[in-house]
Amino acid sequence: MKIFNRKLADTKEIIPLIHKDDRGIFFETFHKQKYKKNISIEDEFVQENYSISSYGVLRGLHFQKKFPQGKLIKVTKGKIFDVAVDLRPNSKTFCQWDGIYLDDICHNQFWIPKGFAHGFISLSDVVEVEYKCTDIYHPEDEECLIWSDKKLDIKWPIQNPILSKKDLLGKSLDMITNNL
């Protein structure tokens, strides 16, 4: 496995060691001791989520305030542009964003620790995304940072995404950071 530090403090890209032969491929998608030692994931994963999206669907940017979740994201089918926004007031990368392409060819993963907003946009006809979470989902605690916030100026690869009603009503970065 190869591990790369990303632009935002404490975020990582993980590229698995893929074993390939005439039968297909095999690789580890998670190994508790290795991820703890090499990536410093101390929390237990307590929930795993799975989504299917069509081309141009943007999900996010979601986060929980009282019950923040660390997330380990991977794509099992297709390709996404995955985005994290650092909402940790004491972080050196506070209010900054980073984006990474994840796909089913290189099987890379994105580790986003607690305290970040997270979202992605689908870049394939069908995209399947799985992600492990360090806390359970609390719908009453979820907030949404608007995907198109001018202050963040995220460089999404699609200009007119398909959004849920909830994501259309996301709050600005200023509104969210004033309440942290």
Q: What is the pLDDT of residues 63-77, one digit of tens each?
A: 999 999 999 999 999
Q: What confidence score (pLDDT) does residue 178 get?
A: 86
Nearest to 34 by CA among 75, 76, 2, 81: 2
| Strand, coil or helix: 140 | helix
123-166 pLDDT per residue, tens: 999 999 999 999 999 999 999 999 999 999 999 999 999 999 99
Structure tokens at 115: 């305290």
**In the chain, pLDDT over 70 holds for what percent of residues?**
99
Give yes or no for a contact between 137 and 45, defined as CB atoms under 8 angstroms apart: no
Structure tokens at 164: 């849920």
Q: What confidence score (pLDDT) does residue 155 get?
A: 97
**Arithmetic mean of pLDDT, 29-33:** 93
pLDDT higher than threshold 80 for residue 180: no
Domain ranges across the chain: 2-177
**Arithmetic mean of pLDDT, 55-84:** 97
Beta bridge partners of 85: 97, 117
What are the CA-CA distances from residue 82 to residues 10, 114, 165 (Å)? Answer: 16, 16, 20
Q: What confidence score (pLDDT) does residue 147 get?
A: 97
Q: Where are the alpha helices (DSSP H) in the chain?
A: 32-39, 165-168, 173-177
Instruction: Provide the 8-state DSSP code for 139.
Output: G
Q: What CATH number is given for 2-177 in this structure? A: 2.60.120.10
* pTM across the whole model: 0.94
Nearest to 107 by CA among 71, 77, 134: 77
Beta bridge partners of 57: 162
pLDDT higher than threshold 80 for residue 36: yes
Indicate if 131 belongs to the active site: yes
Which residues have CB under 8 Å from 21's CB, separation 6+? Answer: none
Q: What confidence score (pLDDT) does residue 60 get?
A: 94
Give yes or no for a contact between 80 and 129, defined as CB atoms under 8 angstroms apart: yes
Catalytic residue among 35, 101, 118, 131: 131
Q: What is the DSSP string of 31-89?
A: -HHHHHHHH---SPP-EEEEEEEETTBEEEEEEESSS---EEEEEEESEEEEEEEE--T
Residue 179 pLDDT level (bands cut at 50, 70, 90): confident
Nearest to 148 by CA among 165, 132, 160, 135: 160
Indicate if 55 belongs to the active site: no
Catalytic residue among 31, 62, 101, 137: 62
